[in-house]
C-alpha cells in the first residue's frame, strides 16, 4: 500500500499555482545575480508591504538557514539564545544555530503548548552572568508555535519587553506566519514589538523552497550578505528564491491559502475521535494516541508523526481537501 502524506506535514504538499506561475514568469531574460535583480527587489517590496515596515529583506533556501543565520547575527559565540524547549531551533536543526554562530548556545524554556511561560523567561533573565556558562543575549520566539498555537501581539510584547530592556536581541521564527495571520495575528504589529530579525515562512505556506529574512534592525544588515554567502545562502540566481513571494503576496494567496489550511484543521478536529491535546488555533491537530493505534493508522496508509511531547500530529496545508479530511476521519473513527 502506498502511504499518504497529506497530514504528515504542511511541507509535504505541492507548491501552490500562484507561486509556480510567478517562478515561471521570472524565468525570462538576463538579469544581475546574487539578489540584486528587479524580481528580488519587487518581492522584497511586497514583504515590506505585508508587514508595513521599512526593513531589509533577504531570501534563503530553508527555515533552518534563516533561523540559524539570524541567531548568529544576534549572539557572539560565548553567548546563548533563550527559546522554548520544543522550538525548531532547539529540536530540529541539527545544531545549526551553534554551527553558524560559531558555538552560540541555546537555553531551553518550558511553557504549555509551545508558548514560553513568562515566569520561566523572567527567571532565566535574572540569572547572573558567569564566565563558566553561556549567558543569554537573545530571545527566539515562534508564531504559530510548534504546537499550532497562537501568540497574540500582546503576549509577544510581554515576552519581548524584558528582553529588550536588557539590550538583548529578538528573533521571530515565522515558518507558519501565514497561518498566524489567518488566525487573526496582525502582521503589521510586528514592527512595533521590538523584533530585530523575522523569518517569513514560504515553504510551509505553499511555495517551493524559500524563506524571507526580514531585518528590522538595519545595523544587523551590515555584511549580512557576506554571512549568507559564507553559508551558501546567497545564490547566483537569487530571483528564483524571491519570485514565489511575488505570486503568493501579490495575489493575496499567502494568507488566503493559510486560512484554508486552518479551516481544514478545525474540520479534522471536529471529526477527531481521539482526545485533542493542544488548542487547535491554526493548521495543526495534536492528539493522544497509543503506539498500537498509530501503527494501525500507518498500516491503513496514512503516515503521521509522533511529536515531541508524545502526541500524534496531523498537519493541514493549502492543498488539504475536505474529502481527504473526511476520508481520514472515517479511518480514525474505525480505529478508535
Distance CA 55, CA 200 (A): 13
The answer to whether residues 159 and 289 belong to one domain is: no
pLDDT digits (tens, 9 = 90+) for 11-44: 999 999 999 999 999 999 999 999 999 999 999 9
- Say if 317 falls within a structural domain: yes
- Say if 49 falls within a structural domain: yes
pLDDT digits (tens, 9 = 90+) for 160-206: 999 999 999 999 999 999 999 999 999 999 999 999 999 999 999 99
Quick one: pLDDT at residue 1? 67
- Say if 76 falls within a structural domain: yes
Please list, in sequence order, all residues whose beta carbon lies within 8 angstroms of the beta carbon of residue 74, skipping any fewer than 6 positions away.
81, 137, 138, 168, 169, 170, 171, 196, 197, 220
Model pTM? 0.97
The answer to whether residues 223 and 282 belong to one domain is: no
Using CA atoms, how far residue 294 sits from 258, 268, 297, in Å, is: 27, 17, 5
- The full DSSP string for 35-62 is T-SHHHHHHHHHHHHHHT---EEEEES-
The answer to whether residues 105 and 80 belong to one domain is: yes
DSSP 3-state of 32:
coil
* CATH code of residue 67: 3.40.640.10
The answer to whether residues 210 and 174 belong to one domain is: yes
The answer to whether residues 243 and 265 belong to one domain is: no
Cα 317 to its chain centre, rounded Å, is: 14
Which cell numbers hold the place of 335? 480505529
Total of domains in the chain: 2
* CATH code of residue 310: 3.90.1150.10
Q: Show the CA angle centred on residue 270, arms to residues 264 and 273, nearest 5°.
A: 120
Q: Which residues of the chain carry a pLDDT beneath 50?
A: none
- Which of 200, 222, 250 terminates a domain? The answer is 250
Domain that holds residue 291: 253-335
- Say if 196 falls within a structural domain: yes
- Which of 230, 250, 270 terminates a domain? The answer is 250
The answer to whether residues 62 and 43 belong to one domain is: yes
- Which of 250, 275, 300 terminates a domain? The answer is 250
The answer to whether residues 161 and 306 belong to one domain is: no
Q: Is the dihedral angle over the CA atoms 239, 240, 242, 244 positive or is it negative? A: positive
- Say if 9 falls within a structural domain: no
Distance CA 279, CA 275 (A): 11
Amino acid at each position: 500500500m502506498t502511504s499518504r502524506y497529506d497530514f504528515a506535514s504542511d511541507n509535504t504538499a505541492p507548491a501552490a499555482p500562484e507561486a509556480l506561475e510567478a517562478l515561471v514568469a521570472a524565468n525570462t531574460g538576463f538579469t544581475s545575480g546574487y539578489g540584486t535583480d528587479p524580481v528580488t527587489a519587487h518581492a522584497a517590496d511586497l514583504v515590506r508591504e505585508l508587514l508595513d515596515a521599512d526593513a531589509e529583506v533577504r531570501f534563503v533556501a530553508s527555515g533552518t538557514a534563516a533561523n540559524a543565520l539570524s541567531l548568529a547575527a544576534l549572539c557572539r559565540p560565548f553567548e546563548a539564545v533563550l527559546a522554548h524547549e520544543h522550538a525548531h531551533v532547539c529540536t530540529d536543526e541539527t545544531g545549526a544555530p551553534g554551527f553558524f554562530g560559531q558555538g552560540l548556545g541555546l537555553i531551553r524554556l518550558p511553557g504549555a503548548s509551545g508558548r514560553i511561560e513568562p515566569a520561566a523567561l523572567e527567571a532565566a533573565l535574572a540569572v547572573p552572568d558567569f564566565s563558566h556558562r553561556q549567558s543569554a543575549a537573545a530571545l527566539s520566539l515562534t508564531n504559530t508555535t510548534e504546537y499550532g498555537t497562537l501568540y497574540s501581539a500582546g503576549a509577544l510584547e510581554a515576552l519581548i519587553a524584558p528582553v529588550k530592556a536588557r539590550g538583548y536581541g529578538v528573533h521571530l521564527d515565522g515558518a507558519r506566519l501565514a497561518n498566524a495571520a489567518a488566525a487573526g495575528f496582525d502582521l503589521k504589529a510586528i514592527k512595533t514589538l521590538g523584533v530585530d530579525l523575522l523569518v517569513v515562512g514560504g515553504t510551509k505556506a505553499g511555495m517551493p523552497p524559500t524563506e524571507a529574512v526580514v531585518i528590522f534592525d538595519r545595523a544587523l544588515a551590515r555584511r549580512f550578505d557576506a554571512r549568507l554567502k559564507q553559508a551558501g545562502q546567497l545564490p547566483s540566481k537569487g530571483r528564483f528564491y524571491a519570485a514565489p513571494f511575488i505570486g503568493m503576496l501579490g495575489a493575496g494567496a499567502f494568507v488566503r491559502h493559510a486560512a484554508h489550511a486552518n479551516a481544514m484543521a478545525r474540520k479534522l478536529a471536529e471529526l477527531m475521535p481521539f482526545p485533542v491535546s493542544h488548542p487547535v488555533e491554526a493548521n495543526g491537530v495534536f492528539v493522544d494516541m497509543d503506539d498500537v493505534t498509530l501503527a494501525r493508522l500507518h498500516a491503513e496508509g496514512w503516515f503521521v508523526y509522533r511529536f515531541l511531547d508524545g502526541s500524534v500530529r496531523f498537519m493541514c496545508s493549502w492543498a488539504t481537501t475536505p474529502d481527504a479530511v473526511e476520508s481520514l476521519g472515517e479511518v480514525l473513527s474505525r480505529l478508535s
